[in-house]
Amino acid sequence: MTMRTIRSHRDLEVWQVAMSVAEQCYRLTQSFPREEMFGLALQIRRAAASVPANIAEGYGRESKREYIQFLRIAQGSQKELETYLLLAARVGLASEEVIMSILTECERVGKMLHRLIRSLQKT
């Protein structure tokens, strides 16, 4: 496995996957009924966008301690997103198959965030 140079938060695989999840969530919520655009759809979009945004903001901070704090906020947003997606499936706003596909990627992001935090804590 070759090591890539990280020059920006955009080079982080966790940020890239989190952006992909956010994009999938935006596309998913486009099909929600109009009355949900300021309800569950908005909550899903906010939580989904918050994950890569907090990864990016933490990366740009001055200290490792602040970086880890923003990664933890991203973890919280990730769990919030998972909850909203499960609720969307339960109330019939999206198929369970589509939701499970996104949740699989969410789980991947969650594991990557966990590993990144642990790695930063060791250095």
In a domain, 2, yes or no: no
Q: Print the domain residue range for 96.
A: 11-122
In a domain, 38, yes or no: yes
Domain with residue 30: its CATH number is: 1.20.1440.60
In a domain, 112, yes or no: yes
pLDDT above 70 as % of the chain: 97
Checking if the pLDDT of 3 tops 70, the result is no
Separation CA 17–CA 38 (nearest Å): 26
In a domain, 3, yes or no: no
In a domain, 51, yes or no: yes
Query: At 1, is the pLDDT very low, low, confident or very high (cuts 50, 70, 90)?
Result: very low
Identify whether the C-beta of residue 112 lies closer than 8 Å to the C-beta of residue 75: no
Q: What is the DSSP string of 5-44?
A: P--SGGG-HHHHHHHHHHHHHHHHHHTS-GGGTTTHHHHH
Average pLDDT over residues 95-103: 96
Amino acid at 55: I
Helix (H, G, I), strand (E, B) or coil at 108: helix
Indicate the number of domains in the chain.
1
What are 33-85's pLDDT values in tens digits?
998 888 999 999 999 999 999 999 999 998 999 999 999 999 999 999 999 99
